[in-house]
Amino acid sequence: LADKIRGKQSTHGISAPKRISQPLVGVVTGSISDQPHLEACYNILNDFGIPYERGIKSAHRTPEAMAEYARNTGFRGIKVIIAAAGGAAHLPGMVAAFSKSTPVIGLPIKPSIGDGWDSLVSMTNMPRGCPVLTVGVNNAVNAALGAARILAQWDQTIKARVEEYVNNAAAESLENDHKLLQ
Ligand code: RP5
């Protein structure tokens, strides 16, 4: 389970959203080229039983579609948005601007040129009043866990799964420590 959650081994491939109920998380990327970097995020959302939707909304190529999507997330019951983009990564900031009150987790993607620092600072250096809660470059695991922790504040099942994940990670770390001591 731990490997699957980290995206090292996926039994799902690039997993599809479970359309069992109203999506709570909206996952958007700036381009189809970002999608492979989201695999670990989708695996966690699937494993935790969190309904989500995914899409491609480009701040540069399809700004109107991106704005419409972001404006409507609140009405549609989306509680958290994960927005992933690389390079001139304006997507999370613009989604945060248009959605107004939905929390936006920014996932910087390493672009084909450079190490992803530009993607990262595009998301962290937002003006006051328009926060993007940013995780590390390509850290799709933390983006999903961040969304899960927000939802866990009012959903006991998700809370239990988040805590199980944390406990498993602790057990694995202690196990690794014991192996080194032997
Ligand atoms: C960004 O530009 C996307 O989020 C992507 O990370 C990057 C490159 O996009 P493509 O040229 O591969 O479509 O908007």
Using CB atoms within 10 Å of the CB of residue 94, give its burial: 0 to 12 exposed, 13 to 18 middle, 19+ buried. buried
Any ligand 1 atom below 6 A from CB of 155: no
Structure token digits, residue 59 = 């701040």
Instruction: Give tens-digit pLDDT for 141-160.
Output: 999 999 999 999 999 999 99
Q: Which of 27, 28, 29, 31 to mutate to test the pocket of ligand 1 (most atoms within 8 A of CB)?
A: 31
Question: Which atom of ligand 1 is closest in space to residue 33's alpha carbon?
Answer: 12
What integer is the mean pLDDT of 91-111? 98
Nearest to 117 by CA among 93, 147, 138: 138
For the chain, domains (ranges, CATH) are 2-181 (3.40.50.1970)
Cα-to-centroid distance, 169 and ligand 1 (Å): 33
Which ipTM was obtained for this model?
0.97
Any ligand 1 atom below 6 A from CB of 93: no
Any ligand 1 atom below 6 A from CB of 87: yes
Label residue 18 by pLDDT band (50, 70, 90).
low
Any ligand 1 atom below 6 A from CB of 137: no
Cα–Cα distances (Å) from 27 to 89, 166, 180, in that order, read 15, 23, 39
Tell me if 54 sits within 8 A of 28, measured CB to CB: yes
Question: Which atom of ligand 1 is closest in space to residue 119's alpha carbon?
Answer: 6
Any ligand 1 atom below 6 A from CB of 92: no
Instruction: Give tens-digit pLDDT for 29-83.
Output: 999 999 999 999 999 999 999 999 999 999 999 999 999 999 999 999 999 999 9
Query: E strands along the chain, which residues?
Result: 25-29, 52-56, 80-86, 104-109, 133-134
